[in-house]
Structure 1
Amino acid sequence: METHTWTQPIITANGTITDNPSITGPGDVWTSATTVSVFDSNGPYANGFVGEMCTVVDLGDKWFCEGIYRNLQGCSGLLSFSGIYDGAQLGGNWSVTGGTGDFEGATGSVLESFDEDNFVSTRVITLASPTRICRGFELTEVHFWTSPIVLANGTLIQDASLVGPGDMWPNVATVLDDTESKAIGFVGEKCIVIDGNNKWICGGTYRSLNGCKGQLVFSGVYSGSSSFGNYTILGGTGDFAEATGEILESFDDTALKSTRTITIQ
């Protein structure tokens, strides 16, 4: 769901300008170019742009609208839509007509409710094609640690319970979805023991996560005594440029399996 405000005046067919959509007639045009706000559990935040134009097409307050979203939900490219807005019902129903970049070949619908007092559009956008969602989402991933631990003296071991300060565990792995049946990216990471209480400082990079382009960088602390990690997303490249968020991990010491919940903004 997204919301945005119409701040431009309406241009009537005779060239005059009005701010009152209730007195429009055929040929009148309302354009808008503005930032889009989307919603998550913390409330609305800016995450995309929209440019659009609506033209009154009859005396029943029907408007033909078309427009383009750009960089919606952190995805790269343009998403186009068009359809009819009914001023009498304060509602619009539009078709997604394709796009570029991440939205190439996209299909779906855009449903709008309009607040005529505040000129605010609230829209539910449904995409039916396999479009990448690269921001404002949460996913659970699973991957395994198959590389040996490198002790400070250079010895290689597999038992994480025998580590001490300075020992290092590098890992490169395929990232799986929470059913462990589908690959959804790759991770390269390294953890180093920093004290005698089995605390590790960990950092790494996800690549091509969830079908997105680019790398996602993270760093934080893992507690071996509780088998729990808490990491901060530090940004990235491509679709993940300037990304923020967190990664929470639980670790299965027997299977050497990380299960992480990644929240990306």
Structure 2
Amino acid sequence: MSNQPDNEETRKEAAFAAEHLAAESMAADMDPWVVFDARKTPRAEFEEWLQTYQPSRVSRFGDPERNAEPVGWIAVYGPSFCPDGGDVVGLQDDWERLQMSGRHVTFDTVRELALNRRVLTGKWLMHLDSGFKVDHAWRGVAQAVLDGRIGVAKVSPCCPDSDRKQVICVYTEDFTNEEQVLAADAVIRSTGVKCHLSYKPDVYTYLGIYRDNRWHLCPTIYESRFDLECIPRRSRIINKVTNTEVT
């Protein structure tokens, strides 16, 4: 008996899951953000800001009874943060043409598009339980941004009445620069974060490529696991494109 219908159904479900994640991400980006901008806000105000906007206490969807608006992200911009997202519109146009051409889509073709349009930012992702874990990790990461050791980072607000984990994103300027990606991991680990990390180029986000996508692309290109048995303790980072350990 052929399993073709099952395979077709699985593909449809995977495509729906990827598109759902893309829609959720776009909605969060469009809603208001809570931002501490170290380029223009005095450091003396940072501690109060951090306490006021603890990730586990800020609701993603707001609170109509308290006149609280939805919050897409909570973010810290470092003292030397200089946003440069490249030509995202041009990238998306190129992506449409690529798909119409019938060319096989691989990591290398996506990387080529990103380089051509200078859409090179990427981020280390950590998914943490809401409550003390996410608040504690965010405090360390946010402080590293304030100190200029990281350019920018953000954290998702909580979803009350949900067991969904919250995510912290720590950005780098160039996902093709492996040394830069590894250096950011080292800064994250120096703040005390020991959980599993994954690294995703922003080009995948802009093109709506999430897990379980129709092109069978893995949108995370590095994985970092903290080795507690190694002395000195350090991350073991795998390049998922080449399937090699890089640390």
Query: Which structure has the larger Rg over C-alpha atoms?
Result: 1
Regarding TM over 0.5, the answer is no
TM-score using structure 2 length: 0.26
Instruction: Considering fraction of residues, name the structure with more strand.
Output: 1
- Which structure has the highest helix share of the two? 2
